[in-house]
Structure formats: structure tokens, C-alpha cells
Amino acid sequence: MSQRKRSKGSGFSQGNDEDEDYGVSQTPTHTQVQRNLERRSQDQVNQKVSELVQFLLVKDQKKIPIKRVDILKKVIREYKDVYSEIVNRAGRTLQQVFGLQLVEIDTKHHIYILTSDLPRAEGEIMHRDNQTAKLGLLMVILSFIFMKGNSAKDGAVWEFLRRLRLQPGERHEVFGDVKKLVTEEFVRQKYLEITPIPLTDPPEFKYQWGPRAAKETSKKNVLRFVAKIQGKDPTFWVSQHHEAES
């Protein structure tokens, strides 16, 4: 506890470049936060909580993960000494009022996403937009990756997608530039992770699940999906089933 005192509410941190002016290099301990909280007006803290909730809801629209740096800079600002309290309260509000979960998908770089706390109810889809179709495509890719052992080469993925009438070079009537959607948008949203395979010439890539995919769905769900599409029981695929259950 004693070594943390120096960093209480301090601005600059040692060598933590991404935190910049709003560095919270060593986060204040719980008791420190509680003490800082007492110095602040409750109304103003609650105001910050509301602002954070709104900020998160809007930032989530495009499904691009939210960085803590942005949260500190744009919402928390001078209240950074009670940052953890504000975030916790915001998370509680999101859960109790909106049925959403604030999830940290990267504990090193402190990146958050919003997921739903509640399962999707039947016949609930109010609006028809491209998001639904994109989710379908994503599920197909995630299924392929999982069933192939949690990792698939780009060549194999695209060969599979071609069978579904998706050509990387052609403009698709629903998805437009499919290649861009898969390799850029899905990656930025952290649904997919595409990494280059070393020493391949011409360069090849490995497709895996991204952290958002892991939080928003599960291997079990994906296996259920595949089973439903193929009209089989999930236990048909022994090792995948085993992995999904573990």
C-alpha cells in the first residue's frame, strides 16, 4: 500500500506512453478512492456516472471497442482520482437499467466493450439493417474457424466463403466490399483476429476468434448453430463438442 501513495491522483506516470496527460499508471487502491470520493460532491460524481453511461452507449454504436484513454480524456477528466468508482457505478447502471455488461477485453491496454446481459428473445428484431446480415456472415466465419480447430488459414476461409457466393474481388449486393468487411471491420471490432504466418511467401494469414467474439458468444453456442444448420446433434463432432463443453 505504501508504494502506491506517491501516485495518488498524479498526472504523469513512468514510461506509460499511451496514458499521456491522464495517466493512471498505478491505479489508486480502493481505500484511496473511497477517501477521494468523500472530498467530492455526490451530485457531481453521479453526473459523471451518467455522462459515462451515455458516452459508452453511443461509442458502442459502431461496435468499435472503447479505450480507457478516451474515457479519461473525454468524460472523467479531473475526476480521475475516483475513476474506478465512476466506472463501477456506470457498469451497474448499464446492467440494471439497460441489461448490458461492460466488459474489459484487454486488461493490458484497458479496452472495453458492451455486451448484452440477456439472451436474445424470440421474434424481437425491430429493425432490419445491415447489422443482422453482417452477424450472419460473422457467425459463418467463426463456425468455420472453430470447427477447424480454432484457427484457419486465410486461403481455406476464402475458399469456403466462395462456396457461399462471396468473392473477395467482387462487390456483394449486401456486404459491398466483403474482403474489407472481414479483414478490416470485423478485426477492428475485435470479432476476428488475423495474424500473419511467419516465413510464408506469398504471405499467408491465420484467422482466429477475436476477444469480442469470445465474450458475445461461445464455442458451445457456435457448435449448436452448426448442428442446427446441418440437422445433426452437437455430439456428432466429438472433439469439438468436448472442447465446447470444457
Partner 1 sequence: ENREDMLSSKSNRLTEALEEANKLFSGVSCAREAALDAQFLVLASNIGKEKANELHSQMTSFDSLAFAEDLLTFMGINRIEVEENDSDSEGIPGGYLPSNAWHKLGEETEKYFRRAPSFHYMLGSFKSDPPVPRQRIERQKKATGGEEKRAMPAQLKKMEESHQEATEKEVERILGLLQTHFKNDPDTPISFFDLVIDPNSFARTVENIFHVSFIIRDGFARLKLDDDKLPIIEPLKDNKGKRDDHSTGARNQAVISLSHQEWK
Which residues contact partner 1 (rule: CB under 8 A)? Answer: 57-61, 63, 100-101, 113-120, 122, 125, 128, 131-140, 143-144, 147-149, 151, 156, 160, 162-165, 173-175, 197-199, 215-217, 221-222, 224-226, 228-231, 236-240
**Nearest-approach distance from CB 67 to partner 1, in angstroms:** 14
Q: Given the complex with partner 1, which of 4 and 133 has the nearer CB atom? A: 133
The answer to whether 13 and 25 are in contact (CB under 8 A) is: yes
Name the strands in the sheet holding 204-209, side by side, starting at the edge strand that comes first in the sequence.
152-153, 204-209, 192-197
Distance CA 204, CA 152 (A): 11
Q: Phi and psi (nearest 5°) for 99?
A: 70, 35
d(CA 48, CA 54): 10
| Partners of residue 176 on adjacent β-strands | 172
**Min CB(100)–partner 1 separation in Å:** 5
Nearer to partner 1, 4 or 92 (CB): 92
Is 146 within 8 Å of 222 (Cβ atoms)? yes
Q: Which is nearer to partner 1, 12 or 236 (CB)?
A: 236
Of 16 and 54, nearer to partner 1 (C-beta) is 54
Residue type, 34: Q
In the bound state with partner 1, the residue whose beta carbon lies nearer, of 7 and 186, is 186
Residue 123 CB, shortest distance to partner 1, in Å, is 9
Instruction: Kindly report whether the peptide bond that precedes residue 202 is cis, defined as omega within 30 degrees of 0.
Output: yes
Cβ at position 119, least distance to partner 1 in Å: 7
- Shortest Å distance, C-beta 193 to partner 1: 16
Give yes or no for a contact between 92 and 100, defined as CB atoms under 8 angstroms apart: no
